[in-house]
Each structure stands twice: as C-alpha cells, then as structure tokens.
Amino acid sequence: MRDLKDYTLRDWAGAQPLTQGARRLRNVLLDSLYATRRCEGQDALLSSLAPLRGRFLAVTVAFNLPEAVAFLSDAMARTMPDVPLLVCDNSSDPAMRVRIAAICARSGRAYCPLPAVPRISPNVNGSRSHGVALNWIWRNILRPLRPSGFALLDHDLIPLAPDDLAARVARQPVYGMVRAGEDFGGWYLWPGYSVFDFKAVETLPLDFGTDTPRMLDTGGQNWRVLYRHLSLDDLAQARTRQVWLAAEGEGPEPFLLADTWLHVGGAGHRGGGAAALRRVRRLYDADPDRLLCRLSTDPVDAVSVLGG
C-alpha cells in the first residue's frame, strides 16, 4: 500500500485504501502459506548446497524456457566459472521442468523444483508469480544457507564479460538496476539483476512481491523494509542502457544492457522472446568475445558494425 498521506479524499471516498489493504492482506496470507510448502528433495538440496555456506551464490528463477537456462549457465561458466548458480524452476509446464532439470544435471548446476505457485485467478500474473517464487527462495534456501551474498538474475540475462558480483556489495548492502515509482515515490532493485550482502539483509522480512498501489513491480515491496532506509545517492548503481544488435540478413533489434549483462527481455513471456534468444545465442556461439563490441546505442551503427 501507499502511505496513508498519499491517498486523496476521493481515494478514501472510493474506499481505495480499504480495498488495497484487503488485497495486500490476502497476498501476505497466501505467500506465508506458500512459504511453508516444501519442494521435492528439499532436504537433499540443502545438504548439497551446504558447502556454499559463507560463499557467494547466484540464483535464477526459470520459467518455461530451457534454452534461456542453458545460455545463462554456459555464459556464466565461461565468464565467471567460480560463481555457483542455483536454478529455481518456476515453470508451469511439466515438460519444461523435465528439460530444465536435465540441463542442470548435465552442467552441474544445482536445481530446485519450486512448488507450484498458487493462482488467484486463471490468468498467470508473471510479476506476482516471480515475486512469490523469490519469497519462497529467500525463506527456504537463502536464509538457511547463509551465503556471504547472493545475486538474483533473470533467466534470460546473459553475461558478456567477467563480473565480480561479490565485489559489487563489498562496500554497500545492495547493488543493481534501480527502478523508481512514477507518482508516489519509492524505488527498488529489479530482481532480474540485483545483488545483496547477506549480513546486511539477513534479519529483514524481505518481500519481493509487487506494490501495485505505489506502482512498483516485482521487488517493490522491499521499499518498505529495505530500500526506504538507504540513501540512493550513496549507492553505486548498475549502468543500464538500451542497445541494438544486428545479424547478417536481419534488422537491428533492441535489448537492455546492464553493466555487461545483456537482457534478452521477456523470453519466457513475450511473443518474440524465444526467437530473440536464439538469434543472440547464434551470434554468441560464433564469437563470444566479440558480441559485446557488436552492441550499439544507435540502430544504424548496429548495422554498420556487422562487417567490423
């Protein structure tokens, strides 16, 4: 919910604070119940992860796109082989879960089959599902494991160069891509590229859910418990920009670049995401060292660098 001072008389007349408060209470209750559910093989998973206690850990939430998980895993193995990656599978398609589990087994990645996220309506809300999954991971994996720090990475986020993620939070509690609310203040780190020092947050009731009344997406609920107590001006932040990438015989396509991590964007949800992922993978496999240089902030330049 927004702060009470941010509701107008018209909002109160329409009972907006009451309806939003009731919706928030419902979500808290559902999330709390979901957090008590156990995934298949949870005890064995925690035992296998025990050697990572006190070490840095990267976590991704997979969703119905095995190719994205394979790409992220392969690129991390190349650019940061010492960073363990935990794949938490939130796929709604059982066949995709089987394929993602097989990819993890082949690549030696830890695999966590998340319990099915409860639906409030027949339509899947991707932002809410992602947030609920992250809350389960925080309570059932990260808190018991107690890593030195952890990164939350989108499954279609690709590292194009080495990155010392642990160093990102060596002198500050959090790091990542900052997103701000539009009308009512507040900001949050996009959980597709965010890094946390565990000791800085271990006692907090982190909540990666959305805060729709404040116009904050997945991770926005952490404004209340974490971000509002931090000075944004004092934090180093990820450098993000739109870039363009072209391939032979194809026009330039826009992507988001966070530091040196390329976000293919909505690969598990939007119509062309899977195709875009395949195009980027083709270019990456042809010459992984050159792909970062092929990105341009101008679509015309993106075409001109093809022969460079």
Is the pLDDT score of 118 beyond 90? Answer: no
CA-based end-to-end distance of the chain: 51
Q: pLDDT at position 307, please? A: 44
Contact 130, 218 (CB under 8 A): yes
Contact 167, 75 (CB under 8 A): no
d(CA 137, CA 160): 26
d(CA 204, CA 191): 17
Q: What is the pLDDT of residues 69-84, one digit of tens each?
A: 999 999 999 999 999 9
Question: Quick count: other Cβ atoms within 10 Å of Cβ 3?
Answer: 11
d(CA 257, CA 295): 9
> Which range in 122-126, 194-198, 209-213 is most confidently predicted, on average pLDDT?
194-198
**174-180 and 56-62 beta bridge pairing:** unpaired
Beta bridge partners of 88: 61, 112
Q: 211 in helix, strand or coil?
A: strand
- Mean pLDDT, rounded, for 6-32: 67
Q: pLDDT at position 308, please? A: 44
Exposure string for 121-145, b = 16+ CB within 10 A, e = fewer? eeeeeebbbbbbbbbbbbbbbbeeb
Locus of tokens 């309570």: 139
Is the pLDDT score of 266 beyond 70? Answer: no
Confidence of residue 21 (pLDDT cuts 50, 70, 90): low
Q: What is the pLDDT of residues 43-62, one digit of tens each?
A: 999 999 999 999 999 999 99
What are the DSSP E strand ranges found in the chain? Answer: 56-62, 85-89, 110-113, 149-154, 157-159, 174-180, 187-197, 240-245, 253-258, 261-263
Q: 269 in helix, strand or coil?
A: coil
- Mean pLDDT, rounded, for 150-158: 97
- Torsion angle of alpha carbons 37, 41, 46, 47, nearest 10°? 150
**247 against 201, higher pLDDT:** 201
89 Cβ contact list (under 8 Å, min separation 6): 61, 62, 97, 100, 101, 111, 112, 113, 114
Is the pLDDT score of 292 beyond 80? Answer: yes
